């Protein structure tokens, strides 16, 4: 049987009865937006992250946008973002009229470089968005020395732990995505902002719902971005499995790390306990390795092929010097990683990678 790159379909199959029941429960309950299921999931997930409040929103991108606005970032302000991440990190900044300033990343752990954050800070810089890339915690304690509000982009880091605590608990607020491929996901779009700051929680609640506390009376110019009851019901079922799924991912990552340590492959340095959202290797022979793995029916992806400062959409924010991000984009390759990979699949990935280097040497 062909191996899947991720377990979106397999996860559903493993819980289909419970998920179908949860969906039916919402449909017959008559409450579809901002109801008890969203509230329960907000409380559960905020607690899991080590924070006081969760605000369910429409997507991870919206969690970033709403988080930035709640922190007080205004049009024209600058926000530091890593050059190696999903475009959504910087899109969120631009979407509220602020300017993303691209900062280079580490060649070892692939996360934003704290020293460069200090160098890029100006009087216009109003926030930093460190990303826990591929689930690996960013160096938030060092980044905090810049003295700027931190909005964690924890879209890929549900359940990752660092020496400063759980991802999502350190910054003024943190944005999560529940996009179908994430470690904790729904079958559609969804996201959450978590925070222990009462003001940010209150403002974010207004922002996601037309700026309203009571119906038909807007206090601020909000938007419509609400996690709905159906997705929250699905997420509550999946959430019960998150720790177990993360344990399986970590066991697979451990096997990959052991099997690859003598090969000429770069591996993401471990800054904490990743949830192993993605398992990424680096090699100057990336494209050849990828073609060889394709011949072996081992699916791979590239996260990410182009650094943000080289993408057309961000040209208006001017040039940036991010040589590490550029080098990584030419070398990164994501191997199959999910909670439903069989030991035989893991063995086949390892064998195929070894075979490639045996032929190459
Ligand atoms: C690092 C990162 N930030 C933000 C997002 C945006 O999340 P969403 O797709 O839910 O808007 C994603 C998801 O693709 C992501 O990987």
Specify the pairing of strand 99-103 against strand 78-82.
parallel
Band (pLDDT 50/70/90 cuts) for residue 266 is very high
In the predicted structure, residue 304 carries a pLDDT above the cut 80: yes
Establish if 353 belongs to a structural domain: yes
Establish if 264 belongs to a structural domain: yes
| Residue whose tokens read 């608990």 | 169
In the predicted structure, residue 306 carries a pLDDT above the cut 80: yes
Q: Which atom of ligand 1 is nearest to the CA of 133?
A: 1
**Averaged pLDDT, 258-283:** 98
Look up the domain containing 259 and give its range. Answer: 243-360
Ligand 1 center to 61 CA (angstroms): 6
Query: What share of the chain in percent tops pLDDT 90?
Result: 98
* Angle in degrees, CA 282, 181, 287, rounded to 5: 25
Confidence at residue 360, expressed as pLDDT on a 0 to 100 scale: 81
**Averaged pLDDT, 105-123:** 98
Band (pLDDT 50/70/90 cuts) for residue 2 is confident
The answer on 174 and 33 residing in a single domain is: yes
Ligand 1 center to 214 CA (angstroms): 30
Ligand 1 center to 191 CA (angstroms): 9
| 138, 156, 325: residue to mutate for ligand 1 pocket, most atoms within 8 A of CB | 156
The answer on 274 and 220 residing in a single domain is: no
| 61, 134, 227, 275: residue to mutate for ligand 1 pocket, most atoms within 8 A of CB | 61
Q: Which residues line ligand 1 (CB under 6 A)?
A: 59-61, 85-86, 88-89, 131, 153, 155-156, 177, 179, 189, 191
Establish if 273 belongs to a structural domain: yes
Establish if 197 belongs to a structural domain: yes
The answer on 233 and 253 residing in a single domain is: no
Establish if 225 belongs to a structural domain: yes
Total domains in the fold of the chain: 2
Q: Which residues face 105 on adjacent strands?
A: 112
Band (pLDDT 50/70/90 cuts) for residue 330 is very high
Ligand 1 center to 67 CA (angstroms): 14
**Averaged pLDDT, 205-227:** 96
For the chain, first and last CA: distance in Å?
30
| Residue whose tokens read 């492959």 | 265
The answer on 269 and 206 residing in a single domain is: no
351 is written with which tokens?
Answer: 């064998």
Return contacts of 286-294, CB within 8 angstroms, 24+ apart. Answer: 286/330, 286/331, 286/332, 286/333, 288/356, 288/360, 289/333, 289/353, 289/356, 290/333, 292/352, 292/355, 292/356, 292/359, 293/349, 293/352, 293/353, 293/356
Confidence at residue 85, expressed as pLDDT on a 0 to 100 scale: 98
Confidence at residue 264, expressed as pLDDT on a 0 to 100 scale: 96
In the predicted structure, residue 259 carries a pLDDT above the cut 90: yes
The answer on 275 and 170 residing in a single domain is: no
In the predicted structure, residue 361 carries a pLDDT above the cut 80: no
């Amino acid at each position: 049987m062909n191996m899947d790159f991720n377990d979106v379909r397999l996860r559903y199959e493993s819980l289909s009865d419970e998920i179908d029941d949860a969906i039916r429960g919402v449909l017959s309950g008559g409450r579809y937006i901002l109801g008890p299921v969203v509230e329960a999931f907000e409380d559960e997930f905020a607690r899991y992250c080590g924070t006081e409040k969760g605000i369910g929103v429409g997507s991870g991108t919206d969690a970033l946008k709403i988080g930035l606005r709640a922190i007080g970032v205004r049009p024209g302000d600058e926000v530091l973002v890593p050059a190696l991440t999903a475009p959504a990190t910087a899109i969120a900044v631009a979407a509220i009229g602020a300017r993303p300033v691209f900062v280079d990343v580490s060649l070892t752990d692939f996360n934003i470089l704290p020293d460069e954050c200090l160098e890029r800070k100006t009087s216009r810089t109003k926030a930093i968005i460190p990303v826990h890339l591929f689930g690996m915690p960013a160096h938030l304690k060092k980044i905090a020395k810049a003295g700027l509000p931190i909005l964690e982009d924890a879209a890929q880091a549900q359940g990752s732990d660092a020496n400063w605590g759980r991802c999502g608990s350190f910054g003024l607020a943190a944005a999560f995505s529940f996009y179908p491929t994430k470690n904790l996901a729904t079958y559609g779009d969804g996201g959450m902002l978590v925070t222990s700051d009462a003001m940010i929680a209150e403002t974010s609640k207004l922002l996601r719902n037309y700026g309203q506390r009571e119906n038909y009376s807007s206090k601020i110019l909000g938007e419509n971005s609400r996690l709905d009851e159906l997705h929250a019901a699905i997420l509550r079922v999946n959430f019960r499995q998150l720790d177990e799924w993360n344990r399986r991912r970590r066991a697979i990552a451990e096997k990959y790390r052991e099997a690859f340590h003598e090969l000429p492959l770069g591996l993401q340095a471990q800054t904490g306990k990743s949830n192993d959202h993605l398992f990424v290797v680096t090699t100057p022979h990336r494209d050849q390795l990828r073609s060889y793995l394709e011949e072996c029916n081992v699916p791979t992806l590239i996260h990410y092929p182009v650094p943000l400062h080289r993408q057309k959409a961000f040209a208006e924010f001017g040039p940036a010097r991010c040589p590490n991000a550029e080098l990584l984009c030419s070398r990164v390759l994501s191997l199959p990683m999910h909670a439903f990979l069989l030991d035989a699949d893991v063995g086949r990935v390892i064998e195929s990678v070894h075979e490639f280097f045996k032929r190459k040497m």
